[in-house]
Structure 1
Amino acid sequence: MATATGTGADLRRARLAIAAAFLTQGLVFISLTTRLPRIQDRWDLDELALSGVLLMMVLLAGVGSLVAEKLAPRLDSAVVLRAGLVVIAVSVAVLVLAPVTAVFVLGLAAYGVGLGIVDATGNMQAVALEHRLGRVVLPSCHGAWTLGGVIGAVLTLATTDVPWSALAALALLPLAAAAAPYLARDSGEAATSTDTDVPWRAIVMIGLALVVFYTVDTAASTWGPVYLDDVFRAPEELVALATLPYLVASGLVRLVGDRLTEQVGAVRLLRVGAAIALVSLAVIVAAPTWPVAVLGFTLLGCGVAVVAPLSFSAAAALAGRDADPATRQARVDAVVARFNQFNYAGALLGAVMTGAVGSSSLRVGFAVPLVLVVALFWLARAFAPADDPSV
């Protein structure tokens, strides 16, 4: 665990630990979502029932984020992050080994709460590290999440014949991550947070950009494979190509996103990314063949990759500005946890609006993120604080 002063070695260890938490979160989440058809068959869930339990999980993730908001200022985000990882480990084991449907649903509900806790506290840790280092690190942390997602997707493809009970081994990953040396709160930091002078209007503007990102991201990851299947009748074994290249492209850009942000600046980088996203979504909507659509999804991953990490950077910078060291971290932790709710709002919009508008044709459905992404050109100006994470 890092010391209060944060030596170079301490901060390097903390950075690796935080990256490991993000990677673990992405790997476990994608490992589960890519097995939804298997889960559906195992528990004999129709589409409505499956949608219901997934909605429950997303809503409880929001509850988990609120729990993190209340506990992190009192206990330290590192402590709450470890607790969230343990909750995920136990819940994954429960939902995999569940003997009846009710126990499975209980395990999925607990996983939702743990998901929200780890989402919020992981970003708290990454933001605190940015402030200690005085430079951008959130894009590469989110890149670790994406890398974990890619590993999870590949593992799913490679283990299709593995007995279902063997998937309980996934629980070992968050347990191992819980023992990592996360960043400890500086001595003297306040034990409670305050909303005093927090510029919520500016933070909400950044949150709207996060909603746009997760609307686009969820549309691509949820409806992309269906789009290739329904519109182009792509070979069944290849429909995952709507998601995997998107994830790989997004992960690569995020891994170099720290340096890109420092060289180009957050505002300009977001506007360039929005232009790429706009072109790529137009390619997806107008694609004459499925390989062209796959190219569009790949470019889309490049375009929107840094929106989420820079959103947390900018919101945290605004929350901590002009605050004395005794209250800064507690306030930032509370704001990051509350800001995380925009994540789940966007995810719900992406899943519901794209499908509802595209009920007759998903070409029309993907016009929803095509229109929404235009807002990023205007919202990018709210990201100026992300250019200076030391504020």
Structure 2
Amino acid sequence: MLAMSADPRAHLGRARLAIAAAFLTQGLVFISLTTRLPRIQDRWDLDELELSGVLLMMVLLAGVGSLVAERLAPRLDSAVVLRAGLVTVAVSVAVAILAPTTLVFVLGLAAYGVGLGLVDATGNMQAVALEHRLGRVVLPSCHGAWTLGGVIGAVLTLATTDVPWSAIALVAVLPLLAAAAPYLSRDHGEAATVTETDVPWRAIVMVGLALVVFYTVDTAAATWGPVYLDDVFDAPEELVALATLPYLVASGLVRLVGDRLTERVGAVRLLRIGAGIAFVSLAVVVAAPSWPVAVLGFTLLGCGVAVVAPLSFSAAAALAGRDADPATRQARVDAVVARFNQFNYAGALLGAVMTGAVGASSLRIGFAVPLVLVLALFWLARAFAPADELSAGAQDHTGG
């Protein structure tokens, strides 16, 4: 009997490692690409507006991938769709890196955008399902695994500036390995049909706006940070990834302790403190007199915005799962997570495209976009009360 009762926990432990591996792989591959944007610009002779167009295409197709996940996950299981997304990422990244022509490169990035959306949506579905089965907040640490992968990706970029471009395609092996991990399977005992009226979209949209702000800031830092150091300060080419690396390290450290931090401080208060730090740090980035000062600003920024995304998914899932039986809750949550993921791409669109477009003459002006938008987090933080309720419920459940 003891072995049988321990088995579910062991299964959830393996699933948690698998989900963390998926997040880590996604972060590693994404940051491996974005920290090489200056090199990509040189290789394909792209200016800022052309690069913005390519990034726009990738973001829009990531949104398509997320919508595909919304349709497929209830039928096939989010674990199956996650594996398919990881394989898509692996193949498309290899194609984009080894592309012999600009057209093949663009097609590879287009396919990567779809895979990105599939993995983003289903990875968060898996994390939310794990959070509910464990009965405690775990999304910050899951997103921390993404950040850890990003740190590894940035370090690899710094360490491989002189390797042949084709060797970078080896990064595609990692998503293939992650596709074989033991993810959570859906309980098919009872099917539940979810309609638009079942889901409290109005409350969820408020949380979604905070996610838009976060991804505007995050994508601006990850995508344009290296270009900012390169163009504005003429930093050494082998050091431009430092715009991203300290940002990711700081963000990752906060996320890895974010589960406990949320339970102790509370989601609403934690977000408002982070918003203040983010505003100051972006002001430092915009006004920086030298690239080391800009790097300091990016580092503080990572501390400020670290938990916005994971707590957004926690709050949205908590809203979706209220007053529902387990089968209906799971159906609602999967539908909400995939749709909610669209806020991710709206923010990425603002961060990647608007920062580049507004900052076409100077990226100092471009980084004023996230500087202004981050102020909205002070007001939007009140919508995160459901994440605090989830923490309180988890503590009561654990105590009982």
Normalising by structure 2, report the TM-score. 0.90
The residue aligned with 1:179 is: 180
C-alpha separation between the residues in 2 aligned to 1:249 and 1:50? 27
Per the alignment, residue 372 of structure 2 pairs with 371
Unaligned 5+ residue runs, structure 1? none
Partner of 1:308: 309
Contact 2:87 2:179 in 1 (8 A): yes
**Which one is further off, 67-76 or 276-285?**
276-285
> Greater shift after overlay, 100-109 or 297-306?
100-109
- Report the Cα distance in structure 1 between the residues aligned to 2:39 and 2:228, rounded to whole angstroms: 20
Cα-to-partner distance string for 1:330-363 (whole Å, 9 max, x where unaligned): 1111110111011111111122333344445444
Aligned to 1:75: 76
Q: 2-side partners of 1:213 and 1:133: how far apart? A: 27
- CA distance change for structure 1 residues 206 and 85 in 2, over 3 Å: closer, same or farther? same
State the shift of 1:70 in Å: 0.4
Answer yes or no: is 1:88 the counterpart of 2:104. no
Q: Could you say what the CA RMSD is over the residues aligned between the two structures, in angstroms?
A: 2.3
Going from structure 1 to structure 2, the CA distance change for 1:35 and 1:220 (only over 3 Å counts) comes to closer
Q: Does 1:299 align with 2:300?
A: yes
Q: How many residues in Structure 1 have an aligned counterpart in Structure 2?
A: 389
**How far, CA to CA, are the matches of 1:28 and 1:138 in structure 2?**
20
Cα deviations across residues 177-232 of structure 1 (Å, max 9, x unaligned)?
A: 11111111124242653323311111100010011111111222233334344444
* Contact 2:225 2:244 survives alignment (8 Å): yes
2:268 is the alignment partner of 1:267: yes
Residue aligning to 2:346: 345
Partners of 1:242 and 1:155 lie apart in 2 by 14
Q: How does 1:74-223 map to 2 (within 5 A)?
A: 74-190=75-191, 192-223=193-224
The verdict on how the C-alpha distance between 1:363 and 1:382 changes in structure 2, with shifts beyond 3 A counting, is: same
The residue aligned with 2:398 is none
Distance 1:187 1:14 in 2: 18
Matched position secondary structure for 2:197: coil
CA drift of 1:55 comes to 1.8
CA distance, structure 1, for counterparts of residue 29 and residue 62 of structure 2: 15
In 2, the alpha carbon distance for the partners of 1:193 and 1:153 equals 41
Distance 1:324 1:215 in 2: 35
C-alpha change, 1:20 and 1:98, in structure 2 (3 Å) is same
CA distance in 2, matches of 1:96, 1:238: 21
Q: Is the 8 A contact 2:49 2:357 kept in 1?
A: no
Q: Is the 8 A contact 1:189 1:330 kept in 2?
A: no
- Give 1:43 deviation, angstroms: 4.2
Matched residues, percent identical? 89
Is contact 1:65-1:337 (8 Å) kept? yes
Matched AA of 1:348? L
- Distance between the aligned counterparts of 1:206 and 1:106, measured in 2? 33
Question: How much does 1:373 deviate?
Answer: 1.2
Deviation at 1:48, TM superposition (A): 4.3
* Gap change, CA 1:310 and 1:178, over 3 Å in 2: same
The code of the aligned residue for 2:250 comes to A
Map of 1:23 onto structure 2: 24
Q: Taking structure 1 as the reference length, what is the TM-score of the superposition?
A: 0.92
Contact 1:189–1:325 at 8 Å: present in 2 too? no
Deviations 1:263-301 (A, max 9, x none): 111111111111111222222233344333322211111
